[in-house]
Amino acid sequence: MSKMRAICENGSQRCNLMYIEHLENTMHDIVTPMTVIGSMIKCVMAEFVTNENLSYYLNMTQKQIDMLFDIIKNGSVAGKIINENYVVCLTMEDIYDLVEEQTNAFKYTMGRKNISLTLVSEIETKLMPLDKHLITRIINNLLSNAEKFTPSYGEVVVNIKTDSNTASIKVSDNGEGFSAEMLEHGIKRYYTKKNEINRNGSGMGLDIVQRIVGILGGEVKIGNGKNGGAEIGFTIPIITNEDLPIELK
């Protein structure tokens, strides 16, 4: 795909760059649900699944399949976000449940690299107006990024904090962390970082995260932890009752 983009931009051939970008966005959208589905199937084939937890695996797989159908039905959400024509749809959701669900899904994908994934929260429930699809997209991107750059037998931690005005989520890992150059370019689309542990990565995921958080009126922060490793977090405002649509009041 990058070679096709280079050809288009160099003028060697006449291509529709918007079409190429749409394909890139859609490919990016489907990676996470496909990865989770693959991990679930491998767990079943490896006989890790018991009769007691079979329904959980099937339910998680069905949710990822629903996400794929949603992408097909509505087109690339990433493309709509980038082109600034995504319409926010608020529903009352428990942000802890959303984060926990995505974290549990990634436990199986990260388990293939023997990566420990832990959810740390000061709350066990927090009902608030959210765009469920956007929040899910953010968490998926952050966890996918952490999985990509965390070495085997590494550790990833997800933190949730809320107060009366904001909700904050941070994903930390004990990988190599951000270089000074990466901290400068980390949220610029298509800036790539070579990862000797795994493979070349793309800055597209962080770019999408920043755009989504911006839509929600929040802020993204990236940096390195005190003991090394990357930290990527975001804070969004909690919409007050006065600003809610009538149907949610």
What gap in Å lies between CA 223 and CA 172, rounded to an integer? 10
- Tell me what pLDDT residue 37 has: 85
What lies within 8 Å, CB to CB, of 195 at 6+ separation is 148, 149, 176, 201
Q: Does the pLDDT of residue 185 top 50, yes or no? A: yes
Q: Classify residue 65 as exposed, middle or buried by CB count within 10 Å of its CB (0-12, 13-18, 19+).
A: middle
How far apart, in whole angstroms, are the C-alpha atoms of residue 233 and residue 138?
Answer: 10
SS3 category, 174: coil
Inform me whether the pLDDT recorded for 241 exceeds 70. Answer: no
Q: What is the pLDDT of residue 116?
A: 95
Distance from C-alpha of 245 to C-alpha of 70, rounded to nearest angstrom? 24
Are the beta carbons of 231 and 222 closer than 8 angstroms?
yes
Tens-place pLDDT, residues 126-138: 888 898 888 988 8
3-state secondary structure of 64: helix
pTM above 0.85, yes or no: no
Q: What is the pLDDT of residue 191?
A: 52
More confident residue, 20 or 61: 61
Is residue 206 within 8 Å of residue 230, measured between CB atoms?
no
Q: Give the residue with greater pLDDT, 27 vs 121.
A: 121
- Report domain extents, the chain: 1-87, 89-249
* Structure-block tokens of residue 110: 């990260």
CB 3 within 8 A of CB 20: no
Choice among 77-81, 144-148, 239-243 with the minimum mean pLDDT: 239-243
Within 10 angstroms of residue 29's Cβ, the number of other Cβ atoms is 24
Vertex 186: Cα angle to 208 and 71 (nearest 5): 20
Question: What are the structure tokens assigned to 92, written together?
Answer: 């009352």
For residue range 85-103, list pLDDT tens digits in order.
Answer: 778 888 889 999 999 988 9
Q: What does pLDDT average to over the chain?
A: 77
Give residues with Cβ within 8 angstroms of 204, minimum separation 6: 24, 28, 189, 190
Judge whether residue 1 has pLDDT over 60: no
Lowest mean pLDDT among 4-8, 17-21, 187-191, 214-218: 4-8
| CATH topology for the 89-249 domain | Heat Shock Protein 90 (3.30.565)
- The string of pLDDT tens digits covering residues 13-46 is 544 565 566 666 677 678 778 878 887 787 777 7
Indicate the helix (H) or strand (E) that contains 135: helix 132-149
> What pLDDT, in 10s, does the model give residues 186-211?
666 545 544 433 333 445 567 778 88
**What is the token pair recorded at 213?**
């958080």
Q: What's the rounded Cα separation, in Å, for the pair 178 and 199?
A: 15
pLDDT band at 111 (very low <50, low <70, confident <90, very high): confident
CA–CA gap between residue 187 and residue 207 (Å, rounded): 5
Question: What pLDDT was estimated at residue 110?
Answer: 87
Q: How far apart are alpha carbons 123 and 139 in whole angstroms?
A: 17
Question: Closest by alpha carbon to 239, among 89, 52, 81, 133?
Answer: 89
pLDDT on residue 190: 47
Encoding tokens for residue 3?
């070679």
DSSP code of 86? Answer: P
